[in-house]
A and B are shown apart, each in its own frame.
Chain A
Amino acid sequence: MSKKSNIIEMEDVVIKFVGDSGDGMQLTGTLFSETVAIDRNDLANFPDYPAEIRAPHNTVAGVSGFQVHFGSKEINNFGDLCDVIVAMNPASLKANKKWAKKGATIITDIDTYDEKSIERAGFTNNPLEDGSMKDYNMILAPITSKVKEVLSPLGLDPKSMEKTRNMFTLGMVYYIFSRTFDTTFNYLDKKFAKNPQLIEANKIIIKAGFEYASNHEKLDTAIRVNPAKLEKGKYANVTGNVATAWGLLAASERSGRPFFLGSYPITPATEILMELAKHKSLGAKVFQAEDEIAGICSAIGASFTGALAATTTSGPGLSLKCEAIGLAVITELPLVIVNVQRGGPSTGLPTKSEQSDLYQALFGRNGEAPVIVMAADSCSDCFYAAYEAAKLSMEHMTPAILLTDGNIGQGSQLFRIPKTMDMPPINPPVAQANDPDYQPFKRDPKTLVRKWALPGTEGLRHRVGGLEKEDGIGNVSMDPQNHQKMVELRAAKVEKIADFIPEQKIYGDQDGDLLVISWGGTQGTVKTAVQELHKEGHKVGHAHFRHIMPLPKNTESILKKYKKIVVAELNSGQFVNYLRMKFPQYPMHQCNKIQGLPFFVADLLPTFNKILKEK
């Protein structure tokens, strides 16, 4: 059936599906990514959607997108610029043409380019006619009319017919990448099981799209992306938010501590709450509280009873939880606080990502209130980071803040599924019944960790609370010397966790001209930029931090080994200032972006090169 005359092979491809919020772009992208996953490509997906549910039709504000980066090589980011864009209408073209590579293939529905829609999209002239798209391989497909033409004999209503437009484009891209329909057809069979006519209509349209593309003179080159050499094992395509939920559940199972979540819905963290709410069969108790404060306070209550307790939120929600985090600090109870960062301040950019809550995580409390701060570096790492945050929090009896972000939280990646038993063991310091030596704030001399005495246990009745307590015995104490001692003990306890976390690793050159430092969800892109510098012959190392409070013990010895240091982050310099505070003797450059967007390699390289060149 293929009339393709040329085949080009590509290591990786970035494709983005964009349309109105109701055009089904999230579904189209998901179906495409499932197909490439079945075909053994590595991949990363990134949904890009507006803060409104259904913004006005055919406006830039209402454009929803889904980007798939897949390849035969390791895919560690969502991709910079697109090789293929599917744009369902003028507004989505307007909003996304800036993301197209020069020469990119852009499929768009020519039937939607009437005068009114072109104007509503914000174009002054018809972009398909004024020469502004001349650098691209424009595929002007009459999708709306084709869909009507093909489906009219089936007697479908016009609305149902229009809803299959996305499937026509899916058929087209399956042609371009020589993919089969099996995975998508299976999905349709399940999704519309009660409506065989819709199954039929969608399948016909996918085939029609494929057929249309195969006859299109400007689509005579097929793109081949070979299977990736993935490590043996079982993989699932999971979002960072789902991975976070699984990591918490795994930590609960491995530690033997029942799981409790107290949370309040907030974009872009809600999917963690939604995922955990499904798993009652694992005994997970999930409480949707009346507000953010009740979310964390209920979790603190649950923690006191011996649960692995967590609360999940995003920036503004973390602000509301600050006072209660202090309570967990002073009561020395384990608690995992997951903050899926978004653009701030205030409501800010709810559906866009940023790394601007680091200060809040480190310092956002009254009094001296140190907590563990960790950051997940990818969608998959959300699982491991959530597990580790829970482990450290329980074993060291102190709250842990896990920072992820909207990009890795809502984006997805192939996740190699681990076995829970292969995860490191978790041994919470639960006090034994009738322990004659038990005191609420008696500490392990090595770790300074107090015991977790669970209500209901004989012989351990005690009280904790927000008032300062006397070390050891745990009575309320306003004694000046004791307060200083307790402040110092709580800080030292958190600092000592550095003995229980891995040393900081360096990717690339272990010493040299430039050390690139990053943290959190930017790992993949920064690593790719460092690889580019290596290709250009530079001696560059990359230190990507997952542990921020405490820092890995070898942090300073790493800083020493390079002539220059640059810290790249999606804020105006929060991690770099934290490092400057800790290590003032090392001058540090910075590379920042605060646009609600991920880093692109193209954002990083010019800055890195400039720093390398400077004397």
Chain B
Amino acid sequence: MNEFNNTIERSRVPLTKDNFVSDQMVKWCPGCGDHAVLAAISNVFPKIGYKKENFMFISGIGCSSRFPYYVNTYGFHGIHGRAAAISTGVKIANPHLSVWMATGDGDSMAIGGNHFIHTIRRNVDINILLFNNQIYGLTKGQYSPTTPMGQVTKTSPQGTIEHPFTCGELVLGAQGTFFARVVDNNIKMMTDVMFEAARHDGTSIIEILQNCVIYADKSHGLITAKETKDEYQLYLKNGEPMIFGTNRDKGIRLNGTKFEAVKIGVNGITEKDILIHDQYEGDPGIHMMLAKIAPPEFPIALGVIRSAMFSTYDDLVEDQIKHYKETSPIKTVDDLMLSGDVYEIK
């Protein structure tokens, strides 16, 4: 398990939630899932323990992107789709900051898709909260790249005819090193996963299945409803078997090259047949399968699906700079300007 990155200075005094409460009025709709995410962030920042000035929140455009105004850190509310690019610049320029980003399914997977995949590919050490409510909320209800096919929205009155992205599949396809999924009505789960994301070196994507009460209410209903959630949530824990179900008697096993949801005790299946979760595995094969499974055939995988160790872009930048500062004869701009062919007039 990775330890906390020691490039970021820790707070000398214990911090509390109150250190991160903003004086701004929170203007999300009553009942919006975003409120719970905000609660989880104010839980986890004191726990992470960096100096409060070393946190930075960056966002794009959309409901979730108002986040920086509602948490008391250094904050930057960017433009649509570009938060990942802004965050990349922040982290490269100052690796001593803990960089957090709030974005949505449209902001990151439609208009900002290019920045999203390339940030992940480079493995820049930033933590991305991706609020996936499968709809464009702030523009009042148009379909997004994650809206299920066939859904009627303001811009798909006859139903969408687009194949939606699965966020995790996109992240892992872009060589993501950290992917987690949480539900917006479980603050404890969100807090724990955010803590792990902070500890991960590299781009951490937390997909939050977030409910838009106005334009796509209950789009994650089957997964989040009290009556059905235990049947449809597979909350992954590293080193533990992939077991789920109201009676915790169901699990995932590998049948040939495919996943199979099975019941323990039926047809001679025992707990030994159930796959053990290894979030640190470098090979993304099983992680990809976990990212893709969904109801009704399967539960949805929650928690940290992948947390693999690879070099980060920002570390490599620092390494190169350190190396050349030590070895190059060019120490100043004057050295540089005199380093080529120079003709002197006396």
Which residues does A use to contact B, with CB under 8 Å? 34, 37-38, 40, 230-237, 246, 249-250, 253, 258, 260, 262, 279-283, 285, 287, 289-291, 293-294, 297-307, 309, 323-324, 327, 331, 414, 417-420, 455-467, 475-476
**Residues 196-234 of B contacting A (Cβ, < 8 Å):** none
Rank and list the top 10 A-B pairs by shortest CB-CB distance, nearest first: A465-B77, A301-B89, A298-B89, A281-B328, A463-B75, A297-B85, A302-B93, A294-B85, A455-B74, A301-B86
Pair A260/B93 contact, Cβ less than 8 Å: yes
Pair A236/B340 contact, Cβ less than 8 Å: yes
Pair A279/B330 contact, Cβ less than 8 Å: yes
Residue from A298, A323, A414, A418 in contact with B92 in the complex, judged by beta carbons closer than 8 Å: A298
22 contacts between A and B (CB under 8 A): A37-B341, A230-B345, A260-B93, A262-B89, A280-B325, A281-B331, A282-B330, A293-B85, A294-B84, A298-B85, A300-B89, A301-B93, A302-B90, A302-B92, A304-B74, A307-B93, A307-B94, A323-B79, A456-B96, A460-B74, A465-B75, A465-B76
Which of A287, A289, A419, A420 gathers most chain B CB within 10 Å? A287
Chain B residue contacts of A303, Cβ below 8 A: 89
Assembly CA distance A281 to B331 (angstroms): 6
**Residues 296-346 of B contacting A (Cβ, < 8 Å):** 317, 320-321, 323-325, 327-328, 330-334, 336-338, 340-346
Pair A327/B340 contact, Cβ less than 8 Å: no
Any A CB within 8 A of the CB of B58:
yes
Any A CB within 8 A of the CB of B97:
yes
Assembly CA distance A324 to B81 (angstroms): 11
Total interface residues on B, using CB and 8 Å? Answer: 60
Given contacts A302-B90, A466-B79, contact A236 B345 (CB under 8 A): no
- Chain B, residue nearest A453 (CB): B74
Chain B residue contacts of A418, Cβ below 8 A: 337
For the complex formed, measure the closest distance between the CB of A607 and the CB atoms of chain B, giving whole angstroms. 37
Pair A327/B79 contact, Cβ less than 8 Å: yes
Chain A residue contacts of B52, Cβ below 8 A: 461
Pair A461/B72 contact, Cβ less than 8 Å: yes
Q: Mark B12-48 against chain A: 1 for CB-CB distance below 8 A, else 0.
A: 0000000000001000000000000000000000000
Pair A279/B68 contact, Cβ less than 8 Å: no
Any A CB within 8 A of the CB of B115:
yes
For the complex formed, measure the closest distance between the CB of A309 and the CB atoms of chain B, giving whole angstroms. 7
Assembly CA distance A233 to B343 (angstroms): 8
Pair A294/B118 contact, Cβ less than 8 Å: yes
Given contacts A253-B332, A280-B321, A457-B53, contact A293 B345 (CB under 8 A): no
Any A CB within 8 A of the CB of B142:
no
Residue from A302, A414, A465 in contact with B68 in the complex, judged by beta carbons closer than 8 Å: A465
Pair B344/A234 contact, Cβ less than 8 Å: yes
Chain B residue contacts of A305, Cβ below 8 A: 89-90, 93-94, 97
Chain B residue contacts of A464, Cβ below 8 A: 75-77
For the complex formed, measure the closest distance between the CB of A562 and the CB atoms of chain B, giving whole angstroms. 37
Chain B residue contacts of A235, Cβ below 8 A: 342-345
Any A CB within 8 A of the CB of B136:
no
Chain B residue contacts of A237, Cβ below 8 A: 341, 343
Chain B residue contacts of A461, Cβ below 8 A: 52-53, 72-75
Residue from B78, B94, B325, B330 in contact with A297 in the complex, judged by beta carbons closer than 8 Å: B78
Any A CB within 8 A of the CB of B270:
no
- Chain A, residue nearest B81 (CB): A293
Interface of A is mostly: mixed
- Chain B, residue nearest A285 (CB): B92
Pair A414/B78 contact, Cβ less than 8 Å: no
Chain A residue contacts of B78, Cβ below 8 A: 297, 300, 327, 465-466
Which of A301, A417, A457 gathers most chain B CB within 10 Å? A301
Pair B115/A290 contact, Cβ less than 8 Å: yes
Which of B68, B79, B321, B337 gathers most chain A CB within 10 Å? B337
Assembly CA distance A420 to B332 (angstroms): 9
For the complex formed, measure the closest distance between the CB of A186 and the CB atoms of chain B, giving whole angstroms. 10
Any A CB within 8 A of the CB of B88:
yes
Assembly CA distance A279 to B338 (angstroms): 14
For the complex formed, measure the closest distance between the CB of B33 and the CB atoms of chain A, giving whole angstroms. 22
Assembly CA distance A236 to B341 (angstroms): 6
Pair A37/B343 contact, Cβ less than 8 Å: yes
Chain A residue contacts of B320, Cβ below 8 A: 280
- Chain B, residue nearest A421 (CB): B334
For the complex formed, measure the closest distance between the CB of B346 and the CB atoms of chain A, giving whole angstroms. 6
Assembly CA distance A549 to B163 (angstroms): 48
Given contacts A297-B82, A464-B76, contact A260 B89 (CB under 8 A): yes
Given contacts A301-B58, A461-B52, A466-B77, contact A294 B82 (CB under 8 A): yes
For the complex formed, measure the closest distance between the CB of B254 and the CB atoms of chain A, giving whole angstroms. 36
Any A CB within 8 A of the CB of B186:
no
Pair A463/B74 contact, Cβ less than 8 Å: yes
For the complex formed, measure the closest distance between the CB of B221 and the CB atoms of chain A, giving whole angstroms. 33
Pair A297/B53 contact, Cβ less than 8 Å: no
Given contacts A281-B321, A297-B86, 15 further A-B contacts (CB under 8 A): A234-B343, A280-B324, A281-B331, A282-B331, A287-B88, A287-B92, A294-B88, A300-B89, A301-B85, A301-B87, A301-B89, A324-B82, A327-B78, A462-B75, A463-B75
Assembly CA distance A418 to B332 (angstroms): 13
- Chain B, residue nearest A459 (CB): B53
Pair A282/B343 contact, Cβ less than 8 Å: no
Assembly CA distance A280 to B321 (angstroms): 5
Chain B residue contacts of A300, Cβ below 8 A: 78, 86, 89
Chain A residue contacts of B96, Cβ below 8 A: 456
Assembly CA distance A287 to B84 (angstroms): 14
Chain B residue contacts of A456, Cβ below 8 A: 51, 53-54, 74, 94, 96-97
- Chain B, residue nearest A307 (CB): B93
Pair B343/A414 contact, Cβ less than 8 Å: yes
Assembly CA distance A297 to B91 (angstroms): 12
Chain A residue contacts of B340, Cβ below 8 A: 236
Assembly CA distance A593 to B238 (angstroms): 69
- Chain B, residue nearest A464 (CB): B76
Chain B residue contacts of A460, Cβ below 8 A: 53, 74
Pair B337/A246 contact, Cβ less than 8 Å: yes
Q: Mark B107-143 against chain A: 1 for CB-CB distance below 8 A, else 0.
A: 0000000110010000000000000000000000000
